[in-house]
């Protein structure tokens, strides 16, 4: 399966492991690719605002143009279909469809997503929609953003509006992408929008995100929505740097902050006691009924996996000096067995519905040579992680699908356009798309899967 030689066909060695209905996909998000930041009535999002803050983005860039996906929709849909994927995971820009986050809806914005969804279906690709991939309408931030409980109600209305318009056509709706990132990077460290630095606010934001997720799922179900409903978390196994009690204790706490703080409420209806007591006065205000709402059953859990974390009480473990592994351009250690470990743990410790790897991929430095990008590092990364999913399935984990992050190079948040995760290269001057070797490999791998499925029947 990890045959990376372009000239040889990829052997479908996993055709017996991945069932015929296993969903293979590619993923993107609205702000990172669409551009058209103020076209056709779109309102500003918190990321439009954040990008204007001096020093916020490494290359001082923004999302005004990005990959011009808004203007190049049809060609991009052809490109997606050409990869042979089953599904495309994309997000809706809330301020494109409801510019102020409340009040009037914006028909041209809705029409764009209608074309996207219909275009996918016409090409035989399943639409997997995410409601919130971080681009909150700025108008809602102006009245407190996710720290304001009223935003929970606005989100439920937004979810209902999208489901009413597109619900019948969608295979899957994700409420939030990576609530930990929104809460902690956006409100505690402040390195992401909206750029606040207050842990108490961050934890209230995390609670409101989880609450809005649960209430939206309830509302969509009550409205008869047929799409599968779930949430996507960024997770990583945490390993202690040494066997010392201090490192191990710290690892348990960090695991609680990243994983258990989200997975326990979703599947056990409570926050973990050890983390709650560590947060002390910063713990969020939780009202009667909130935890029951958060634990509303879901149809799938999405896992975004990139690497493990190694934790030392003193903060002294550094990937560059301590790891013998390959490291991506983000400085993240390539650690595929961590994905198996994580999926198996979720399966064993929680009553989880089918799991999807909703994002997985690597940023590597790419060189375009004669219209080709020989990204053996990225290809290897993806192949190793698909093998890690297969290993989890062999241990009994119920897996629904796997999606590469990302379809194409795009705006990598605080890193701007300097980091490239795409299996398709984007020349930001000409907007030319070039399939990298990893895209060709993925296409061949999927074709081999399909023929494996066909011949197995
Ligand atoms: O680009 C991001 C994506 O938006 C969310 N998950 C992680 C990716 C890589 O950093």
Using the atom order of ligand 1, give the atom closest to the CA of residue 133.
4
Confidence at residue 7, expressed as pLDDT on a 0 to 100 scale:
41
Is the CB of residue 112 less than 8 Å from the CB of residue 165?
A: no
Given this model, what pLDDT does residue 13 score?
A: 46
Is 438:383 a contact under the CB 8 Å cutoff? no
Residue 418 domain-assigned? yes
For a pocket test of ligand 1, which of 178, 405, 420 has the largest count of ligand atoms closer than 8 A to its C-beta? 405
Average pLDDT over residues 215-232: 98
Distance CA 421, CA 29 (A): 13
DSSP secondary structure string for all residues of 163-225: HHHHGGG-SEEEEEE-HHIIIIIHHTS-SSTT----HHHHHHHHHHHHHHHHHHHHHHHHTT-
List 128's β-bridge partners, or say none. 89, 172
Q: How confident is the model over 267-284, as a mean pLDDT? A: 98
407-425 pLDDT, tens digit each: 999 999 999 999 999 999 9
Answer for the pair 44, 96: CB distance below 8 angstroms, yes or no.
no
Give 291's Cβ-side CA count (13 Å radius).
14
Question: Could you tell me the pLDDT band of residue 75, with boundaries at 50, 70 and 90?
Answer: very high
pLDDT at 5: 42
Residue minimizing CA distance to atom 4 of ligand 1: 29
pLDDT, residue 16, reads: 73
CA atoms lying within 13 Å on the CB side of residue 412:
21
- Let me know if residue 260 belongs to a domain: yes
pLDDT at 14 over 70: no
Given this model, what pLDDT does residue 350 score?
98
**For residue 5, is it within any domain?**
no
pLDDT of residue 451: 81
* pLDDT on residue 456: 45
Tell me the two tokens of residue 298.
């879901």
Q: Which of 32, 432, 358, 433 is nearest to 193 (CA)?
A: 32
**Both structure tokens of 76:** 């991009």
pLDDT of residue 4: 44
Q: The whole model's pTM is what?
A: 0.97
Task: Examine residue 121 and state whether it is found in any structural domain, yes or no.
Answer: yes
Strand pairing class (372-373; 368-369) = antiparallel
pLDDT at 10: 38
Q: Considering the domain boundaries, does residue 14 fall inside one? A: no
Range 191-230 burial, b when 16+ CB lie within 10 A, else e: ebbbbbeebbbbbbbbbbbbbbbbbbbbbbeeeebebbbb
pLDDT digits (tens, 9 = 90+) for 225-239: 999 999 999 999 999
Mean pLDDT of 334-342: 98
Instruction: Look at residue 13 and tell me if it is in a domain.
Output: no
Say if residues 251 and 240 touch (Cβ distance below 8 Å): yes
pLDDT, residue 457, reads 36
CA of 262 to the centre of ligand 1 (A): 18
Look up 188 and say whether it is catalytic. no
Q: What gap in Å lies between CA 444 and CA 440, rounded to an integer?
A: 6
User: Span 141-161, mean pLDDT?
Assistant: 99
Task: Answer whether residue 355 shows pLDDT above 60.
Answer: yes
Chain mean pLDDT for the chain = 95
Is residue 145 within 8 A of residue 136, CB to CB? The reply is yes
Q: Does some domain include residue 200?
A: yes
The reply to whether 359 belongs to the active site is: yes
| Full residue range of the structural domain in which residue 396 is found | 23-441
- The string of pLDDT tens digits covering residues 188-207 is 999 999 999 999 999 999 99
φ, ψ of residue 50 in degrees (nearest 5): -60, -40
Comparing 4-8, 91-95, 135-139, 322-326, the range with the smallest average pLDDT is 4-8
For residues 296 and 400, give the distance between their C-alpha atoms in angstroms, rounded to a whole number.
20
Please check the confidence at residue 386 and state whether its pLDDT lies above 80.
Answer: yes
What integer is the mean pLDDT of 22-30?
98
Taking the alpha carbons at both ends of the chain, their separation in whole angstroms is 21
Total domains in the chain come to: 1
Q: What CATH number is given to the structural domain containing 162? A: 3.20.20.80
Report the length, in residues, of the chain.
457
Name the active-site residue from 34, 188, 333, 359. 359
Q: DSSP alpha helices (H): ranges in 20-146?
A: 30-33, 46-51, 73-82, 94-97, 107-122, 138-141
Peptide bond into 113 cis (omega under 30): no
pLDDT reading at 47 higher than 70: yes
pLDDT at 335 over 90: yes
* 258 inside domain: yes
Q: How far is the CA of 412 from the centre of ligand 1 (A)?
A: 7
% of the chain residues with pLDDT over 90: 93
Average pLDDT over residues 123-132: 98
Is the pLDDT confidence value at 216 over 80? Answer: yes
Displacement of CA 85 from its chain's centroid (Å): 17
Cα 234 from Cα 76, distance rounded (Å) = 26
214 or 17: which leads in pLDDT: 214
Whether residue 252 is preceded by a cis peptide bond, meaning omega within 30 degrees of 0, is no
Grade residue 453 by pLDDT with cuts at 50, 70 and 90.
low
Residue 277 C-alpha to ligand 1 middle, in angstroms? 30
Map tokens 């590619």 to a residue.
26
361 alpha carbon to ligand 1 midpoint, in Å? 9
- Mean pLDDT, rounded, for 305-312: 98
Average pLDDT over residues 346-371: 97
- The answer, yes or no, to whether residue 161 has pLDDT greater than 70, is yes
């Amino acid at each position: 399966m990890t045959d990376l030689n372009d000239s040889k066909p990829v052997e479908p060695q996993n055709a017996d492991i991945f069932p015929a209905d296993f969903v293979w996909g590619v993923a993107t998000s609205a702000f990172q690719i669409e551009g058209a930041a103020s076209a056709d009535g779109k309102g500003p999002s918190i990321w439009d605002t954040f990008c204007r803050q001096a020093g916020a983005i490494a290359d001082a860039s923004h999302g005004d143009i990005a990959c011009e996906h808004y203007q190049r929709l049809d060609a991009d849909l052809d490109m997606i279909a050409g990869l042979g994927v089953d599904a495309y995971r994309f997000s809706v820009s809330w301020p494109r469809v409801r510019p102020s986050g409340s009040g009037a809806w914006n028909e041209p914005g809705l029409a764009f997503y209608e074309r996207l969804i219909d275009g996918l279906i016409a090409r035989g690709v399943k639409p997997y929609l995410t409601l919130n991939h971080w681009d909150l309408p700025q108008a809602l931030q102006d009245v407190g953003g996710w720290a304001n409980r009223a935003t929970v109600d606005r989100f439920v209305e937004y979810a209902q509006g999208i489901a009413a318009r597109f619900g019948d056509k969608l295979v899957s709706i994700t409420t939030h992408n990576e609530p930990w990132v929104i809460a902690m990077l956006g409100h505690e460290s402040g390195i992401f929008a909206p750029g606040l630095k207050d842990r108490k606010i961050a934890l209230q934001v995390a609670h409101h995100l989880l609450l809005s997720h649960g209430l939206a799922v309830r509302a969509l179900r009550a409205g008869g929505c047929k799409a599968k409903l779930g949430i996507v978390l960024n997770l990583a196994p945490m390993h202690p740097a040494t066997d010392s009690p201090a490192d191990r204790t710290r690892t348990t706490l960090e695991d609680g902050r990243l994983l258990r703080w989200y997975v326990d409420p979703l599947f056990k209806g409570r926050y973990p006691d050890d983390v709650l007591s560590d947060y002390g006065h910063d713990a969020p205000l939780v009202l009667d009924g909130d935890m029951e709402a958060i634990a509303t059953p879901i149809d799938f859990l999405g896992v975004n996996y990139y690497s493990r974390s190694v934790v030392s009480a003193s903060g002294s473990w550094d990937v560059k000096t301590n790891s013998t592994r390959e490291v991506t351009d983000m400085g993240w250690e390539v650690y595929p067995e961590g994905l198996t470990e994580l999926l198996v743990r979720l399966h064993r410790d929680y009553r989880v519905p089918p799991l999807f790897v909703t994002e997985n991929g690597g940023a590597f430095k790419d060189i375009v040579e004669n219209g080709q990008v020989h990204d053996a590092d990225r290809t290897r990364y993806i192949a190793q992680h698909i093998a890690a999913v297969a290993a989890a399935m062999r241990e009994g984990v119920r897996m629904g699908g796997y999606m590469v992050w990302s379809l194409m190079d795009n705006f990598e948040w605080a890193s701007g356009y300097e980091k490239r995760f795409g299996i398709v290269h984007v020349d930001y001057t000409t907007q030319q798309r070039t399939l990298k070797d990893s895209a060709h490999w993925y296409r061949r791998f999927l074709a081999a899967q399909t023929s494996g499925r066909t011949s197995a029947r």
